[in-house]
Amino acid sequence: MGIEEKINADVKASMLAKDSKRLEAVRALKSVILLLKTSPEGLTEESAMKAIQKEYKKRRETAEIYIQQNRQDLADDELAQAKVMEDYLPKQLSEDEIRAEVKKAIAETGASSGADMGKVMGAVNKVIAGRADGKLVSQIVKEMLG
């Protein structure tokens, strides 16, 4: 079952279960998928994953802003949607797993200073694409090269 079929099935299941929070999140994903289908590039599993990841990241960042503004009620809604979107993404790597991959990439590229960060990031991103937050990976690379 492709991502589009899974999302459509989940929309239907959420409607039948009268789960409005889940339905809202899944409908947002369905909207993104429909936009991808009509785009010049078309819909592929890879483009769908990138789009879902982008939506997930948006929800997390919005929740952080709401928390800073002392609007926990709105933050909870965004975090609930992000939690639903996690079901469609590949399992995220832990910080220790990311550190192990960064260590391998540093050894492979022969990086020794912050100037080699681009080489290391390129090598790491090929291996962990879509399974870790880029900000966290960047932070770990800086720390290990610095």
Whose structure tokens read 């409005």? Answer: 20
* Torsion from C-alpha of 129, 133, 135, 139, nearest 10 degrees: -80
The total domain count for the chain is 2
Both 118 and 80 in one domain: the answer is no
Residue 7 and residue 30 in contact, taking contact as beta carbons nearer than 8 Å:
yes
Query: What's the rounded mean pLDDT across residues 62-73?
Result: 96
Closest listed residue to residue 108, CA positions, set 130, 126, 131 = 126
What is the pTM (predicted TM-score) of this model?
0.76
Domain of residue 111 covers 95-145
pLDDT band at 8; cut points 50, 70, 90: very high
Both 74 and 105 in one domain: the answer is no
pLDDT of residue 116: 82
pLDDT band at 55; cut points 50, 70, 90: very high
CATH number of the domain encompassing residue 104: 1.10.10.410
Radius of gyration of the chain (CA): 18
Both 49 and 120 in one domain: the answer is no
Domain boundary among 46, 67, 86: 86
Both 133 and 69 in one domain: the answer is no
- Average pLDDT across the chain, whole number: 89
Residue 27 has pLDDT above 90, yes or no: yes
Both 63 and 10 in one domain: the answer is yes
Domain boundary among 86, 104, 122: 86
